[in-house]
Amino acid sequence: MSDLSFEKLSIGDPIPSLTKPPITETQLVRYSGASGDFNPIHTVHQAGVDAGNGGVIAHGMVIMGFCAEAITNWVRPEQVKKFGVRFTGISKPGDEITVSGQVVELWEEGGERLARCELEAVDQAGHRKVKGEAVIRF
């Protein structure tokens, strides 16, 4: 995290990208336990096959978490006013996810200086997994 200030921001400025190591099945089992999401399509190979996915798939919230990590590597967590994503693709073990984004709007409202940022998460082949937005206060 840098000493980023509202005055130094411009529309089009990038959010520093974040590339995560390949997703592992162990990571998905651990996330299942931490989140309480024990849907077997995330942890049991045959359940993923039976669901038509060719094996286990990552929880969408794992990928959303990567997006949140990218944002909070850029600004302090308490600066995040709003954060949301739309899931656009399935991630699987072995996928290496990269999150990137940019500032798309700057404004002042109610005494707050705000920046709206768009972000996306893609796999190693460039297939989008998540499209999202964050509003950051400065």
With respect to residue 33, please indicate whether it lies within any of the assigned structural domains. Answer: no
How many structural domains comprise the chain?
1
Which of 116, 108, 115 has the alpha carbon at shortest distance from 133? 116
With respect to residue 29, please indicate whether it lies within any of the assigned structural domains. Answer: no
Q: The domain that contains 88 carries what CATH number? A: 3.10.129.10
Q: What is the pLDDT of residue 1?
A: 53
* pTM assigned to the model: 0.94
Q: What is the pLDDT of residue 110?
A: 95
Quote the domain boundaries for residue 90: 6-23+58-137
Per-residue pLDDT band for 2 (boundaries 50, 70, 90) equals low
Which of 55, 53, 57 has the alpha carbon at shortest distance from 37? 57
pLDDT tens digit sequence for 10-67: 999 999 999 999 999 999 999 999 999 999 999 999 999 999 999 999 999 999 999 9
> Measured in whole angstroms, how far is the alpha carbon of residue 78 from the centre of its chain?
17
Mean pLDDT computed over 68-96 = 98
